[in-house]
Amino acid sequence: MTTVIDGKAAAASVVEAVSAAAEKLETLGHRRPGLAVVIVGNDPASHAYVGAKSRMAKQCGFNSIQHTLPEDTAQDDLMALVASLNADPEIDGILVQLPLPKHLDSDPVIQSILPEKDVDGLHVVNAGKLATGDMDTGLVSCTPAGAMILVRQIHGKDLSGLNALVIGRSNLFGKPMAQLLLAANATVTVGHSRSRDLPALARQADILVAAVGRPEMVKADWVKPGATVIDVGINRIDAPERGEGKFRLVGDVAFAECKPVAAAISPVPGGVGPMTIAMLMANTVIAAYRRAGQTAPKF
Amino acid sequence: MTTVIDGKAAAASVVEAVSAAAEKLETLGHRRPGLAVVIVGNDPASHAYVGAKSRMAKQCGFNSIQHTLPEDTAQDDLMALVASLNADPEIDGILVQLPLPKHLDSDPVIQSILPEKDVDGLHVVNAGKLATGDMDTGLVSCTPAGAMILVRQIHGKDLSGLNALVIGRSNLFGKPMAQLLLAANATVTVGHSRSRDLPALARQADILVAAVGRPEMVKADWVKPGATVIDVGINRIDAPERGEGKFRLVGDVAFAECKPVAAAISPVPGGVGPMTIAMLMANTVIAAYRRAGQTAPKF
């Protein structure tokens, strides 16, 4: 029987641990964790994400503050807001929702966040800490951190002797995921659009992680029998069978055909997706503990 | 015929380009590049390395300054020296020779160097820039940067479709080397002591890079016929045939038996070794150009 990895349940368990940790921080005499979420403009999808993050932060018992800036906000004004949040002693985590409107340059904004408040794990200092294996003072990008929790559910903490293939080499996911797998002692290969014979590479992987944004690219004959398959893709495809103009979400893995070959597989939706927001909460409580001079919980 | 990669010639060509770039910087109305080398204590090997670096810096036309501190230097005094070098407008690059005496903690010293003066490429900001593919503002660790030049001699700049295996996952070499190969479009695997069946992994590699510090570990039957083999190991082994107490240097690759299988192979000594110091000079001239507001040369 193939294990279908339940990302919702795993995320709920992280959120429960975060809430308990937030409560414990108050009993230790500190204030509750503070998360500032910044959104610029009117993109409906971004507002939906930000709304979900703010609700989840409240559910975790955080002090959650949302800053909504108009579409025509100037770069300097956004930078000034980040600077004030950096200086705010009540704020442990700062999240600037991406993408920003086109006239704004996101990288200087992200790099201006204090690394210890960068709960999205996007600052170059956090990338460098992850790249050099410093897990004790850095903050790890949320989606790979969440995907690793799913991998650990199946294989435990030590991946010695296991071959992992990460398909995709983005800064947001592929590269940090490879570093996390390597830190857990896996033998890690990063494949991508310029790789020769991805199916053959995939067939050698005990842990196959797909993050390319190509609907159902990974087929049954790519999967090593008994492998763990982690699907990070979220692709909208037309679903005329559901009615005109309707769509459905699929991953980068052809789930139905790969499931019988794998020993464990994460579905889309309901796999890695819910973990991202849970790990944002985890990073925020970690940042709050560190700021309070307390030993941060591990997730 | 197997190509034996001539690291001495490649290093000489880098040094020549560095010297020309340093001279050009003066003709552009700027001062020559300034490199500060800091050494603490009396370790003879460290003094030999530092001497070689200072000589090479002079050969490149740099303003080279060596600070020699006593064995019992306090952490604060070393940090204060680094701070003064950070503030010194004549200094473009700062190198603190490692290892430091045991009572000193090297990491805070290295992390206190301004990233733009960190010509050894060891600062977490430079690690993060490399990890996120920012080659335009960061400084890359010298040994992997040098090894990449040897790889490029054989394969050119674009490694699309080639499989690379890096054996070893150190912060100094294995991890940054993997990132450089990935940035050049190779499909990159990192193997290490916890990997299952390294020989089988190695046999799939078009580019095989060994950096583990185990004398002649890579045998002929590890090498894919026609592969490029880059040997980063420098191991001292006893050589009683040369007389009592004599030793010789060997790499991590059993050169004599691997050479007929490979299409190109770097020897030890005379392969990657000479590249490290050449890339230190390259990083220094790059840092000087950036500081002068000029477009830095590429190596």
**C-alpha dihedral, B16 to B19 to B21 to B24, nearest 10°:** -130
The pLDDT, as a whole number, for residue B210 is 98
Distance CA B287, CA B33 (A): 8
Q: Which residues of A touch B195 (CB under 8 A)?
A: 161, 187
Residue A78's pLDDT is what? 98
- What pLDDT shows up at residue B109? 98
Distance CA B254, CA B246 (A): 20
B234 is in an annotated binding site: yes
Instruction: Give the Cα separation of A223 and A40 in Å (integer).
Output: 41
Residues B123-157: pLDDT tens digits?
999 999 999 999 899 999 999 999 999 999 999 99
Q: Which amino acid is at A98?
A: L
Cα–Cα distances (Å) from B216 to B22, B167, B249, in that order, read 39, 13, 11
Please spell the DSSP secondary structure of B11-35, one letter per residue. Answer: HHHHHHHHHHHHHHHHHTT-PPPEE
Q: Which of residues 20-79 of A touch B (CB under 8 A)?
A: none
- Model pLDDT for residues A102-132, shown as the tens digit of each residue: 999 999 999 999 999 999 999 999 999 999 9
pLDDT score at B282: 98
pLDDT score of B280: 98
10 Å CB burial of residue A70 (0-12, 13-18, 19+) is exposed
- The yes-or-no answer on residue A219 being catalytic is no
Q: Is the CB of residue B131 less than 8 Å away from at least one CB of chain A?
A: yes
In angstroms, rounded to a whole number, what is the distance separating the alpha carbons of residues A230 and A151? 8
**Nearest CA of chain B to the CA of A192: how many Å?**
7
pLDDT, residue A98, reads 95
> What is the spatial distance between Cα A205 and Cα B187, in angstroms, rounded to a whole number?
14
Q: Which residues of A touch B185 (CB under 8 A)?
A: 192, 194
- In the prediction, which pLDDT does B4 show? 98
CA atoms within 13 A on the CB side of A126: 25
Among candidates A9, A292, A286, which has minimal Cα distance to A129? A286
Q: Do B161 and A201 touch (CB under 8 A)?
A: no
Q: How far is B244 from chain A (nearest CA, A)?
A: 41
Report the CATH architecture of B29-117: 3-Layer(aba) Sandwich (3.40)
pLDDT at A56: 97
Report which secondary-structure segment, H or E, holds A12.
helix A7-27
Second CATH level (architecture) for the domain A29-114? 3-Layer(aba) Sandwich (3.40)
Share of chain B above pLDDT 90, in %: 98
Exposed, middle or buried: residue A36 (CB in 10 Å: 0-12, 13-18, 19+)?
Answer: buried
- Please choose, from the candidates B70, B43, B39, B72, the residue with its C-alpha nearest in 3D space to the C-alpha of residue B53: B39
Q: Is B175 on the interface with A (CB under 8 A)?
A: yes
Note whether B124 contacts A129, CB cutoff 8 Å: yes
Domain ranges of chain A: 29-114, 142-274
Q: If you average pLDDT over every residue of chain B, what do you get?
A: 97
List residues of B with catalytic annotation: 53, 97, 120
Q: Is A195 on the interface with B (CB under 8 A)?
A: yes
Does A53 qualify as catalytic in the annotation? yes
The answer to whether the annotation marks B168 as part of a ligand binding site is yes
The DSSP secondary-structure symbol of B104 reads: S
Domains A29-114 and A142-274 share a fold: yes
CA A8 – CA A273 distance, rounded (Å): 8
Residues of chain A with Cβ-Cβ distance to B182 below 8 Å are: 169, 175, 190
Q: Nearest CB to B128: which of A131, A133, A190?
A: A131
Nearest alpha-carbon partner for A143 in A17, A233, A56: A233
Residue A26: how many other CB atoms lie within 10 Å: 12
Please give the pLDDT value at position A137.
Answer: 94
The predicted structure's pLDDT at residue A112: 98
CA A169, A173, A179, A184 torsion-angle sign? negative
B51 band by pLDDT with thresholds 50, 70 and 90: very high
Instruction: Give the angle B26-B30-B31 at the CA atoms, nearest 5°.
Output: 80
Q: Smallest Cα–Cα separation from A50: which of A285, A41, A234?
A: A41
Average pLDDT over residues B240-260: 95
Q: What is the pLDDT, as a whole number, of residue B25? A: 97
Cβ contacts of residue B283 below 8 Å, gap of 6+? B93, B119, B120, B121, B139, B140, B142, B145
CB contact B135 to A (< 8 Å) = no
**B248 three-state secondary structure:** strand
Please name the residue of chain A whose CA is at the shortest distance from the CA of residue B198. Answer: A187
Q: Measured between CA atoms, how close is B187 to chain A, in angstroms?
A: 5
- Express each pLDDT in A169-225 by its tens digit: 999 999 999 999 999 999 999 999 999 999 999 999 999 999 999 999 999 999 999
- What tokens appear for A23 in the block? 């409560």
Q: Which of B133, B163, B169 sits opposite A182 (nearest CB)?
A: B169
Q: How far is CA A288 from CA A51, A52, A91, A139, in A?
A: 21, 21, 8, 12
Is A199 part of the contact surface with chain B (CB cutoff 8 Å)? Answer: no
Residues of B in contact with A179 (CB under 8 A): 131, 175
- CATH code: domain B142-274 is 3.40.50.720
SS3 of A77, please? helix
Instruction: Give yes or no for B194 touching A (CB within 8 A).
Output: yes
Would you say A179 and A127 are in contact if contact means Cβ atoms under 8 Å apart? no
| Average pLDDT along chain A, 299 residues, taken 10 residues at a time | 97 98 96 97 94 96 97 98 98 97 97 98 98 94 98 98 98 97 98 97 98 97 98 95 92 98 98 97 98 96
Q: Minimal Cα–Cα distance from B80 to chain A, Å?
A: 23
Name which of B285, B298, B299 is nearest B28 in CA terms. Answer: B285
Q: Is B205 helix (H, G, I), strand (E, B) or coil?
A: coil
Tell me how far apart the terminal alpha carbons of chain B are, to the nearest angstrom: 28
Residues in chain A within 8 Å Cβ distance of B175: 131-132, 179, 182
C-beta of residue B272 within 8 angstroms of C-beta of residue B9: no
Which residues does B14 contact at the CB level (< 8 Å), separation at least 6?
Answer: B146, B149, B275, B278, B279, B281, B282, B299
Optimal mutation site among A112, A180, A194, A204, interface B, most CBs of chain B within 10 A: A194
Q: What is the mean pLDDT of residues B7-27?
A: 98
